[in-house]
Structures are given as structure tokens and as C-alpha cells.
Structure 1
Amino acid sequence: MFLNFLSSPKRESMSSIDTAWLRMDRPTNLMVINGVLFFETQIDFERLKRVIEARLLKYKRFKQKVVRIGTNAYWEDDPDFDLANHFHLIALPGKAGKAELEKMMSEMISTPLDFSKPLWQFYVVENYAGGSALVARIHHSIGDGIALIQVLLSMTDKEANPAAPEKALKTPKFVAGDEEDSDDFFMRLYKPVSKMYTGMLKSYYKLVGTSYGLMMNPGKLLDYTQTGLGVSQGLAKLATMPSDPRTKFKGKQSTAKRIAWAESLPLQEVKDIGKVLGCSVNDILLSAVAGALRGYLMERGENVDGLDIRASVPVNLRPENRLGELGNYFGLVFLSLPIGIANPIERVYEVKRRMNAIKGSYEAVVALGLLSVVGMLPDMLEQGAIELFSTKATAVMTNVPGPRERIYMAGAGVKDLNFWVPQSGEITMGVSILSYNNRVNFGVMTDKKLVPDPENIIRRFSGEFEKLVLTVLMQTWEEAPDPQLAEINLGLMALVAGMGHDGRPKRVV
């Protein structure tokens, strides 16, 4: 009977890493990735339904529910699957604008998914801002951000009316570390990781059996200094890392979340300022995030002198032969954000220095191994391990590259898109950065009890970037810039004067 259970074609074991994310669910932190696509026009509900049937449901995970037996979890075909239970048409009240959608989504994000059904929900908001929107909620156990971007792309087209609008497309593959994208977001982090760790990932399973014990007993680290993979150093750093300091962002959680998103930034402007400073796009954006968090804390009377707070940063470790698959293939590293640094240029260079130090470490592989281990542990032990991880950070900060060009879904043009990363354990804030169509989008999720007004954090992001631009232009550079930098500087001066590359009025703070 037991053998028949295991060999059932309609049920398969969940990987230990996906199981770990499944079991991190708790009322105060739901393991659900939430996203929204904004359309310029009304999207055709019935046409979108046909697209979902052809393109989304080709992934079997979206027709499978989760079955838990003891410490194990399984994917099982849902015999009662009905798309109507997952695909809904709704409308916003009142002015049906940004405030109304943020409120509705905050309530959704605080609501658990139904575990008796496949763990996802789509909502078409038929009356948002003169057009429409699609809100998506997908459980983290189904896949990570890179995997779900592939799912998104498979549902879209490059034109409004393609020849075969409902045909199931071949899954597009995002290749981390592409030369053309070497300055994009986390690409500079993805690229060395994929090269350095490709061989290591084949052998790390031999080490994860000892990893959890080492994490719980750091004194044994000396016995493993000859592993050859730097695991000792990575474990030592995690085991001896102190808890993050208490601020307005960290404390006892509630079961209610709040979200906000900001007006997007032109990606070219971010690249231009990065080129002038010799920093990556990611360095610039993370420095702006640190500045925004600094401003929020100062406004609430908190002392920020010398303050650092850590962000848990997902790092892509997906092997090339699994780029088209669902599931979770990422490790975690901890980045200390220099909140205490007021000068924008000093702060961005400090972010760059810290990011470079992370790129040469083994933290991500160690974390992936530990997640694999905790996914096989009894709940009580797993929760202890998650608490150990989560006390060391205040926020989760993730950065996902989206489509470079304008896309269409069911004939409707996608004006913009955003998403919100879930948090685990005691972590109370999520900061999400997503690129789309040469623009940069920011999303923030907070605990309602601790930060009831995330819009007052995210509204500062663009202002912090503009402060950096203004500070750069006020510097006296010892060497004259080359012609390309001179052209960039003209663009930056135009930005400060009130006009960006795209002709959009700018506000300088």
C-alpha cells in the first residue's frame, strides 16, 4: 500500500527546499508572492481566461494542491480543479484609483490562500484608473521570482494581436549574467555566482547534512576547515552574526500587512549616474533605498547615527538546465545597509564596497544548503532555524529583471507591473525592485502595526536618487570626463533642471 502511494502518477514529492518555503507560512508572514499588472485599457476577461487555460495551466503546478503527511509534502492533482475558483472579476469602489487599489491589495495580501486548492489566485480589476489591472497571488513553494517571471512572460505577447493568441508558447528562458545585462540590477551578482558555484552545487548536498548541526553548534566549525568549499567561513559568518538592531521597522508583528508602490524611474538615468560614479545600477538603487529608510526613521525621531540594518537578499543559483522550470533555486546573503551615512555619494560607495564583499563569499550556497536541510526537519526544529535566520535581518530585498520591451496580455498593453516579496520569521519588511520596459519599479510591504504608512517610505526613493544626481553635479572632479561622460552629464543636468530623458517633469529634493 505504501509503495502504491509513492508510485501514484498523480502525486509527487515536493523538493526539500520548496517544502521549507511551504512550511514558513505563518499568520504574521504568509509565503505568497503578490504582483500586479497595469493595463492602459479594459482587458477582455474571456480572452484572458482562454490565455490562462492555454498558457498558465500547461504548468501542472497550477492544477495541483499540496498534501502534507508528517514532515513531508507532496504535489497532488486536484480532482476538483475549477478555474473559476482561481480567476475572478472584481471592481474597485469610489474613485477606483491608486489609493483604492492599494487598500484592496493590502487586505488580499493579509489573507491566507486556501490549502484545499492549488495555491494561486488571479483577480481582474475591471475599473482601475481608466483601464484595468491584474492582481496575481502565487505561493512561494510553487516557484521563486526568476521562475515566476518565466510564467509571466509565457502569458504575454510582443504585439496586441499575434497570429495565435491562445496558443501555448514555449517557455522563454531568462539567462542570468548575459553580457548585455552585466550592469543590470543583480546581474553583476548573478553572473559571478553562476560561474563560481556551478560545480559546487553538484556537491553541496554532501555537506548540508552537517550544515545544520554546525549552525546550531558553531564551536565545531574548526573540524570542517578543510571542506574545500568555504562552507566553514560561510557558516561561521551566519552563526556568529548578531541580531539586527531594533528600530521602528522591527518588533512584534500583527497579521495585517500594508503595501505601496512608487512612480517608476527611467532606467537610463540610473545607468547614467552609475557610469559617472563607476557603480552598478544595483549599487545606486540600494543606496536610494537606504536613504529612504534613513529619512523615514529620522522623521519619526529615531537616532540613525552609525546605524546599519541588514537586508536578506535572494541570490539566483538556478542551474542553466533548469531555467525553464518552476521551484526555488536561490540562496540568501545578508547586506548591511548604511542607514547612518547621510552623504549620498559616500553612501553609494559604501553600498558598492559591501556588495563586492558579498560577491566573493559562500553565504548563498550555505543558505541554500541549510534551507534544504530545514525542509526535512520536524516543524519545531524548522521554526527554530527560521527564527535564527530572521533575527539577523530587518527586511527582505529582492531585485528581479522583467521584460525589456513593452508586452501585451490578451490584447491589452501592459503599462507597468510591480510585485511584493514575502518575509519569513521575524522579518517585517519587504522591498521589491523590478525592471520593465526600460523603467525601474519599487514596491514595499510592511507590517501594519509597525509601519502603517509604507507610502511614506516609498515616496522617498525617487527623491533620494535625485539628491544623488544633484550631489554628483555639484562635485569638482579632478579629471575631465571623456566625451561619453560629458554627454551623460548634460542629461543629468537636464534632469536636475526639471526634465528627464523621456521628457517627464522631475522633482528635485
Structure 2
Amino acid sequence: MRDHRVNPVDAIWLTMDRVQNLMVIECVMFLEGPIDRARLDRVVQRRLVEAYPVFSRRPVAVGRRGTRMRWRDVPDFDFADHVREVRLPAPGDAAALQAYVGGFLATPLPRDRPLWEIHLVEGLDEGSAIYVRLHHALADGIALTRVLLSLTDPAPDTDEHGADAGVARPHGVGHLVEAARRAAPEVSSALRPARVWASTRAAVRTGLSGVGVLGKLLLTRNPPSAVAGDAGAHKRAVWSDPIDLQLVKDIAKGAGATVNDVLVSALAGALERYQVERGERAVDVPTMIPVNLRPGHLPLPRELGNRFALVLLLLPSGLAGAVERLEETKRRMDRIKRSPEPVITFAMIQGIGRLGRRLSRLLVTFFAGKASGVTTNVPGPREPRYLAGTRITSLLGWVPGSGDQTLGTCIFTYDGTVRIGFKTDTAVIPDPDHVLAAFHAEIAELTQALEAAGRR
């Protein structure tokens, strides 16, 4: 058996599993009908296990104190051990699937085998589903989304012809990618006075902005609210039906905003409404947003690993009025895009990974305590995709929270639709379906407000 080095950043996530928050990325693929198990096995073997070696390795602790982590090859690895089939009892509706997924959100992945598993879920009233669990130590959520999309094809029979068209082709799975590039101005080697002066001004602006970012990261607090508290072990997952993406685009166009602005604003509005419903005065709620730092046009490396940054967004859920929340969301998002925050947080993550297990845990917990949870907004493929010949109707995926974070939000656009999903800690947010209903109400209010403005 061979051992392989664990990247220091990946090692952070290997040691961060806790009862209240596991470092597991949870994904759900909704399928139009049943799936051919033999075809799926061939696709998984070829495009997952053979393409990325970490899926056939398990983590082991080495050294006298067992503080160093290594990946160890599993010589008798059989990926069939990682695939389970289940049939839900009638009526097999969305609530039944949500309950099934929720039953695993607090279940650790076994450490005596590679850190992933696939559930084939049949018995649904509409089609079937694939539920995938992947440990964060394998790779960041953005990379693993690309890995899962590499299992899919643009046509139902592509995989049967032996073509692996989906493996290396990049998919649109990042957002705010350009922020990191803009945040690190290039200093020209030319010595022309104009260029030297421009570079100097850019460096000063970046330095001042960096001081502001560090102050934000150190001083931001997660205020007391209906979505903050001590996390427990039990979680729930709920999600919406597919929403017409054109509706969101129309709102964005009418408001001079982006689709991402509208969806994040709707999240802020949902949390404002939920706080008021719980009898509290609504306050702004901080959330963390992952930022992809990999070149989107290049294939993923075979060793995968984590290469991402985080930005801290204060959702304007303390404001009253959907239009006002959208305007403020756009302003705050634009400010983050122009800042060096992704570069700074990426450097911090790299540094934390080299400080040892105990100190890393303390620092990750410290920074995790500044947000209610993590929000991902993933622009998926614009055209339908097929998994082992079966059409995918929509997708969802949650990255893990840390410390006492209580609210994970996933927004996934795909084939002209968007789904919103919430993963909540039931000790703090026992009724995530209320947050989901509030999200829909916010979208409706934005639509009505912009229609009224158009008539005027």
C-alpha cells in the first residue's frame, strides 16, 4: 500500500469534522426516470475512480502522535461498496426525499474507506434521484461540482459510445472568479513614468483596501438572531421546485442588477421575513460565499484538492422592502468584486493549513463564528445533461458549515431553471420550510414591484 501526501489545506478539512457540523458536501441530482445501474457503474469507474486517484484512497494518521495525515491506496478497492440502492415508501414525494437526505446530514463518512458514497433513490413519484456525499478533504465544492458534472453527457447515448466528452470540458460552476484577478494588479516591468505612477496608485489602493478587508474579517460578528445559536447534531434539508430562470433574469434586467444579485437579495429578504415571523427585529445576517480560484478554462488536476477562497457578505436582511434589499445587495456585492478579499482569504486558508491541527481548528472556528453559514450560487449547464442515459432535471449541492454555523444555502441554475435549497440546524432553525416560503414571497414582491414601476 502506498501513501500519498495530504495537502496542508486538505488536511484542515480532514480534522474539522464535529458532531454539530461534518465536513461533508451533499449533492442531489434529480432524474427524469430510473437509471441503468450497469451503465452508471461503468461511468463512475471510468470518469470518477480512474480519473481522480483520491476516490480510491483513504485517509490515515501517521507519525508518533498521529498528527500528520496521508492518503493511502486501497488495494482491494471496489467502488460498488460505495453505491447503495434504496426505494422510498409511498408516496415518494419531495418531503420523503428530503427526510431521507436529512437522515444522513449528521452521519460521518467511514474513515476506513475512501470518503464518498452514492445513493440511488427510487420510488419517487416523479423520476428518481442520485444523492452523493463527498468529504471536503477530497476537493472544494466548486471542483467537486465539476467532477460530478463530468459524469454527465450532452446526449443520452454518449457514454455508450465510449466517449468521455464530459470529463475534461469545463462547466460554468464559479462566480466572482474575476474578483481575484482584479484584486491583484500587475506591476509592469516597463519604467515609463505613466506606468510607474499607475502601478503605484494601484498598489496603494490595493493596500488600503486590504487593510479594510482584514478589519472586516476580524471585526465582523454574527449578531443574535433567529438564525444564530448553538448548533446541535440534527439537520434538515428542504428545497424548492424548479423556478423559471427567465423570471429572475427579468427582475435583474428591470433593476439593473445581475441574476446573482437578485437571488442573493431574495435570500436576504427570506431571512428578514423569517426573523419578523419569529417575533424578532430583523438584523443583517452575515454569510460566507466560496470563490473559485481555478482557471475555469482548464481541466481539473488529477489530484484535485482544495483551491478556493471565501468572502464574507453581510446580507441586508435588516432592511425593509424587497427593492431596497436588492439595491443594497448589488452595492455590497459590487464592492466585494472590486476588493482583494478573495486573495487575502485564500492566503489565510493556506497559512492556517500549515499551523498544525490544534491551532488550525481554533482559527477555523474563530472565523466560522462570524457567519450564519455558507451560501453557494452555482451556474450550471445551460442545456440538459444526461447521466448514464437518463436526463437530469435539476441539481442541488451544499458545502459544509463549520463551528456553530446553522444555515447552508444552495442556489443552482440549470437548463433554464433555478432551485433554492436550505440545510439548517434544527436546534436553531427547526422550520426551514418557512425560510423557503419566505424566499418565494421575496421573489414575488420583487416581480410585483418592478411590474408596478414599469407601468408607472
Confirm or deny: 8 A CA contact 1:33 1:421 kept in the other structure.
yes
- Distance in 2 (alpha carbons) for counterparts of 1:138 and 1:199: 37
Partner residue, 1:48? 40
Partner residue, 1:68? 61
Partner residue, 2:192? none
Partner residue, 1:504? none
Partner deviation per Cα, 1:365-423 (whole Å, 9 max, x = no partner): 22111211222223221121012101211121111121111111111111121112210
Once the two structures are overlaid, the 10-residue window that deviates more, 321-330 or 90-99, is: 321-330
- Distance in 2 (alpha carbons) for counterparts of 1:292 and 1:117: 40
Partner residue, 1:426? 404
Partner residue, 1:238? 217
Secondary structure of residue in 2 paired with 1:101: helix
2:7 to 12, 15, 24: 15
Secondary structure of residue in 2 paired with 1:244: coil
Partner residue, 1:468? 446
Q: How far 1:351 moved relative to its partner?
A: 0.5
Q: Counterparts in 2 of 1:328-339, with a 5 A limit?
A: 328-339=306-317
Matched, 1:88 2:84: yes
Flag the 1:163–1:260 CA change in 2: closer, same or farther, 3 A: closer
Confirm or deny: 8 A CA contact 1:428 1:446 kept in the other structure.
yes
Once the two structures are overlaid, the 10-residue window that deviates more, 135-144 or 367-376, is: 367-376
Confirm or deny: 8 A CA contact 2:222 2:372 kept in the other structure.
yes
- Distance in 1 (alpha carbons) for counterparts of 2:361 and 2:179: 32
Q: Which amino acid aligns with 1:426?
A: D
- Distance in 2 (alpha carbons) for counterparts of 1:254 and 1:159: 43
Partner residue, 2:197? none
Matched, 1:266 2:244: yes
Partner residue, 1:308? 284
Secondary structure of residue in 1 paired with 2:430: coil
Matched, 1:385 2:363: yes
Partner residue, 1:181? none
Q: How far 1:131 moved relative to its partner?
A: 2.0
Partner residue, 1:210? none
Q: How far 1:173 moved relative to its partner?
A: 3.7
Secondary structure of residue in 2 paired with 1:238: helix
Once the two structures are overlaid, the 10-residue window that deviates more, 23-32 or 143-152, is: 143-152
- Distance in 2 (alpha carbons) for counterparts of 1:93 and 1:462: 29
- Distance in 1 (alpha carbons) for counterparts of 2:206 and 2:159: 55
Matched, 1:438 2:416: yes
Q: Which has the higher contact order (CA 8 A, sep 6+)?
A: 2
Secondary structure of residue in 2 paired with 1:475: helix
Confirm or deny: 8 A CA contact 2:153 2:165 kept in the other structure.
no
Q: How far 1:94 moved relative to its partner?
A: 3.0
Partner residue, 1:213? none
TM-score by length of 1: 0.80
Once the two structures are overlaid, the 10-residue window that deviates more, 48-57 or 225-234, is: 225-234
Q: How far 1:197 moved relative to its partner?
A: 3.9
Q: How far 1:195 moved relative to its partner?
A: 4.4
Q: Which amino acid aligns with 1:110?
A: A
Partner residue, 1:100? 96
Confirm or deny: 8 A CA contact 1:55 1:166 kept in the other structure.
no
Q: Which amino acid aligns with 1:350?
A: E
Q: State the number of aligned residues.
A: 435
Q: Counterparts in 2 of 1:347-358, with a 5 A limit?
A: 347-358=325-336
Q: How far 1:468 moved relative to its partner?
A: 0.3
Matched, 1:190 2:177: yes
1:249 to 227, 241, 260: 227
Partner residue, 1:171? 167
Partner residue, 1:482? none
**Unaligned segments of structure 2, at least 5 residues:** 188-203
Q: Which amino acid aligns with 2:217?
A: L
Secondary structure of residue in 2 paired with 1:41: coil
- Distance in 1 (alpha carbons) for counterparts of 2:160 and 2:430: 46
Partner deviation per Cα, 1:45-88 (whole Å, 9 max, x = no partner): 22211211122112111111112234432222112312222011
Confirm or deny: 8 A CA contact 1:61 1:142 kept in the other structure.
yes
Identity %: 38
Q: How far 1:245 moved relative to its partner?
A: 0.6
- Distance in 1 (alpha carbons) for counterparts of 2:7 and 2:298: 14
Partner deviation per Cα, 1:75-132 (whole Å, 9 max, x = no partner): 2211231222201111112311111111111011110000111000001012122421
Partner residue, 2:352? 374
- Distance in 1 (alpha carbons) for counterparts of 2:162 and 2:368: 43
Secondary structure of residue in 2 paired with 1:396: strand
- Distance in 1 (alpha carbons) for counterparts of 2:86 and 2:22: 23
Q: How far 1:459 moved relative to its partner?
A: 2.5
Partner residue, 1:492? none
- Distance in 2 (alpha carbons) for counterparts of 1:425 and 1:298: 26
- Distance in 2 (alpha carbons) for counterparts of 1:71 and 1:375: 13
Q: How far 1:145 moved relative to its partner?
A: 2.5
Matched, 1:24 2:11: no
Matched, 1:396 2:374: yes
Secondary structure of residue in 2 paired with 1:84: helix
- Distance in 2 (alpha carbons) for counterparts of 1:60 and 1:229: 43
RMSD between aligned alpha carbons?
2.4
Partner residue, 1:288? 266
- Distance in 2 (alpha carbons) for counterparts of 1:41 and 1:460: 31
**Unaligned segments of structure 1, at least 5 residues:** 1-7, 177-184, 201-224, 479-509
Confirm or deny: 8 A CA contact 1:331 1:368 kept in the other structure.
yes
Flag the 1:368–1:322 CA change in 2: closer, same or farther, 3 A: farther
